[in-house]
Structure 1
Amino acid sequence: MSLHCQLILVLFIAVASATNPGVKVKLTEKGLEYGRQLGMASIQQKLKTIKVPDISGKERVPPIGKVEYSLSHMQIVKLGLPKSAVDLVPGTGIKLSISNAYISLHGNWRVKYLRIIKDSGSFDLNVNGLTITSSLAIKSDETGRPTVSSVSCVATVGSVSIKFHGGASWLYNLFKNFIDKALRNALQKQICPLVADAVNELNPHLKTLNVLAKVDQYAEIEYSMVSSPTVSKSSIDLNLKGEFYNIGKHQEAPFSPTAFSLPPQNDDMLYMGMSAYSVNSAAFVYNKAGALSLYITDDMIPQSSPIRLNTRTFGTFIPEISKRFPGLMMKLLVQTVKTPVITFQPNNATTQASCTVTAYAIQPNSTLSPLFILNLETSVSAQVFISGMRVAGAVSLNKMDLTLRTSYVGEFKVRSLDNILQMVLKVVVIPKLNVQLAKGYPLPAIGKMKLVKTQLKVLKDYMLIGTDVQFTG
């Protein structure tokens, strides 16, 4: 990561929505402090590129008269930023403060006086008490990604001391006040532009924000920045869109996000609230794409199971099946009839799904003969967890309810099929669903971002992720 990682953290959360967001993020003072530690090394490297121009002039020095002098080849040999701070300015942005900084330079001097006498040597320049104060503004670009700029900067040099070595260095000591002033001005003019350059160099990294993150062949999730962040005394809070879409076709979900607020916690660097709206928009997308359907055949049932998908097994409960379709294998189609609904309550994530189960007999020529259609109402509980930079999960069956929708084989007791359908859900449907859920969906991220010591809690209407952050590379 190149410079100002604290700003990357800040700008990572600089996303808000004019309506209620699907995702909220909060950067705490602990996160800012981590960023400050990373960022100061980068700022220090930038300031080491200061180029002090050669200085030359003429001064009248009694009793010698006019003296021509030059200072050249000045190079920084040491630079330190022992004290720095990043402060939040409520309603405005960020203030970067550096104090008690110092710079040591080495260079050459040359002098000519009495028209014919020339001499030269070296000198050491020490700048102490250097202070830099810069105000930073955070905005959104046309792609919904954050940008940062330095809107004001003040650099002040506390003191400058010069020590000349060799030759007629005593001459410089006679008019070093003039030289002090020239060097002070030269340094002060360069510091703020370098700070501004350092801030601007952050923007290419910010463009790595995954404002549109692909999930799989069906869906992508949008994390675009739609307004400026809210800056308080203790945190920067933002709202992200956090909505799933079909790939290449952004149709808004037919429901709106409800308002929620992050708790006043500050122990971790970063908090993310992922609302039920976000995952419900995912359910809308997958249902619309036809991805929430599954054909089930006998080879998907464990060999050890006495229950088989054939007309003999089902004929035990529905005699008309074995009478009209003897000795045939069967196929089940399970599919949703409307978008599943996910709800978040404290320590509990639940999904309600309305499905149909269509049973077919497979004829010798592979054509399908419909047998019956059942209404299937299911409730599943979800365990949600963080895997790398993705939110993942797994579900287990709470309950199911079967009713008859259509029968092509006469009347029968639907309850007699409860055990069969429950087995099918537990050993086929849910395991296949969990394979997909384990892949998860990506969280918003910038660059090579890693979550550390991450915890996830399910609260009312949203999941709360508390985490520390590391940047690598």
Structure 2
Amino acid sequence: MKHGVQVGMKIMEEMAKEIVIPDLKGSESLEFLKIDYVKYNFSNIKINAFSLPNTSLAFVPGVGIRALSNHGTANISANWDVRAPLFVLYNSFAEPMEKPILRNLNEMLCPIVMDQVEALNVNISALEVLTKIDNYTVLDCSLLSPPEVTENHLDLNLKGAFYPLESLVDPPFLPAPFELPENRDSMLYIGISEYFFKSASFAHFVTGALEVTLSTKEIAEIYILSQPFMLQIMATGPPVVNLHSNNFSLEFPAAVIMLTQLQNSTTVEHIVSMDFVSLGIQGGSLWAPILFLLGITGQQPLGVWSEG
């Protein structure tokens, strides 16, 4: 909260310097000097410095966050013109004249500051909730419900879903509800559900991000034959992430296909393909049931099952 106050005050101080203040004109009567009027005109008013040193934030249940501040100060410069009889007695009536002028200035500045705060709220509300992650996906971090405010904390229920860059269609599964622990001794808690990871894997799978093809040129250092060769590595389904207590598992169905092009032919043929039915990581160990499909020209593929 204190850090939030410091950041917010710096923003307010910078915003105050950019405020365009209209000219202030008026007149006041000084009865004790029997002067009917004192005309004043302040133009080119600028805020050079603005400070709210005693500011605090507090949670208000059912309302939001309340900001409390007092003893604010501002350094203001202006071109001013004061006209009145007996102006030579300026020092005598300067102090009583300051009060009405400051009152008028305060009445003019407060709405301007409030407008700036409201504009800040509007800008925050209009911030982009879609963040481009890579050339394939975007992340939606929009609020699913209004922030929940209690006396001790603020809860933000964010969507946290990945989408293909060109299509904001929800994935074919729903998020399961979950709750943060009641014991809240730390300043910040972040909860991430399986839906976050599953939507990421689904979006990357449907966009083709989990597929790569290596040509002869790219693997020339390890390929010694003369005929053209290609190696395709691809996911055959969306990777599945399962979260457990103090652990997680990852299932990654994938395939590796080796292809070649025979001499004097435009036909591309399989040499061998390996289907990883489920390449998994769990508890720090790697396990992979593998189905080998050995393709031989003119022959039926030979299937070999292996699990390791």
User: What TM-score do you get using the length of structure 2 for normalisation?
Assistant: 0.73
- Aligned residue for 2:72, secondary structure, equals strand
Aligned counterpart, 1:250: 168
Number of residue pairs the alignment of both structures matches: 297
1:281 Cα offset (Å): 1.0
Q: Name the aligned partner's letter for residue 174 of structure 2.
A: S
Are 1:120 and 2:92 an aligned pair?
no
Q: Take 1:227 and 1:281, find their aligned partners in 2: how far apart are those partners?
A: 20
Q: Take 2:105 and 2:238, find their aligned partners in 1: how far apart are those partners?
A: 64
1:197 Cα offset (Å): 1.9
Q: Take 1:339 and 1:79, find their aligned partners in 2: how far apart are those partners?
A: 54
- Aligned residue for 1:200, secondary structure, equals helix
Aligned counterpart, 1:283: 201
Q: Take 1:402 and 1:378, find their aligned partners in 2: how far apart are those partners?
A: 7
Aligned counterpart, 2:129: 211
- Structure 1 residues 196 and 331, CA, compared in 2 at 3 Å: closer, same or farther? same
- Whether the 8 Å CA contact 1:91–1:230 is kept in 2: the answer is yes
Are 1:368 and 2:256 an aligned pair?
no
Q: Name the aligned partner's letter for residue 269 of structure 2.
A: S
Q: Which has the higher contact order (CA 8 A, sep 6+)?
A: 1
Aligned counterpart, 2:233: 334
1:294 Cα offset (Å): 3.0
- Deviation track 1:80-115 (CA, whole Å, cap 9, x = no partner) reads 533222323222123222212356889665443xxx
Q: Which moved more, 1:354-363 or 1:252-261?
A: 354-363
The two structures, once aligned, show a CA RMSD in angstroms of: 4.2
User: What TM-score do you get using the length of structure 1 for normalisation?
Assistant: 0.51
Aligned counterpart, 1:69: 37
Aligned counterpart, 1:232: 150
1:84 pairs with one of 55, 65, 70: 55
Aligned counterpart, 2:304: 414
1:40 Cα offset (Å): 4.8
Q: Take 2:231 and 2:76, find their aligned partners in 1: how far apart are those partners?
A: 81
- Whether the 8 Å CA contact 1:376–1:401 is kept in 2: the answer is yes
Percent identical among aligned pairs is 23
Q: Name the aligned partner's letter for residue 69 of structure 1.
A: Y
Q: Take 1:218 and 1:347, find their aligned partners in 2: how far apart are those partners?
A: 30
1:95 pairs with one of 53, 66, 70: 66
- Segments of 5+ residues of structure 1 without an aligned counterpart are 1-28, 113-118, 123-163, 311-326, 383-395, 423-473
- Whether the 8 Å CA contact 1:212–1:222 is kept in 2: the answer is yes
- Whether the 8 Å CA contact 2:273–2:294 is kept in 1: the answer is yes
1:41 pairs with one of 4, 7, 13: 13
- Deviation track 1:369-404 (CA, whole Å, cap 9, x = no partner) reads 23555431343559xxxxxxxxxxxxx992322224
Are 1:56 and 2:23 an aligned pair?
no
- Deviation track 1:406-456 (CA, whole Å, cap 9, x = no partner) reads 85545757379x9xxx9xxxxxxxxxxxxxxxxxxxxxxxxxxxxxxxxxx
- Structure 1 residues 121 and 225, CA, compared in 2 at 3 Å: closer, same or farther? farther
1:399 pairs with one of 287, 290, 307: 287
- Structure 1 residues 229 and 31, CA, compared in 2 at 3 Å: closer, same or farther? farther
- Whether the 8 Å CA contact 1:44–1:80 is kept in 2: the answer is no
- Whether the 8 Å CA contact 1:109–1:121 is kept in 2: the answer is no
Q: Take 1:235 and 1:244, find their aligned partners in 2: how far apart are those partners?
A: 27
- Structure 1 residues 403 and 57, CA, compared in 2 at 3 Å: closer, same or farther? same
1:292 Cα offset (Å): 2.5
Question: Which has the larger strand fraction?
Answer: 1
Give the alignment of 1:252-331 within 5 angstroms: 252-262=170-180, 264=184, 266-267=186-187, 272-297=190-215, 300-301=218-219, 303=221, 330-331=229-230
1:181 Cα offset (Å): 6.5
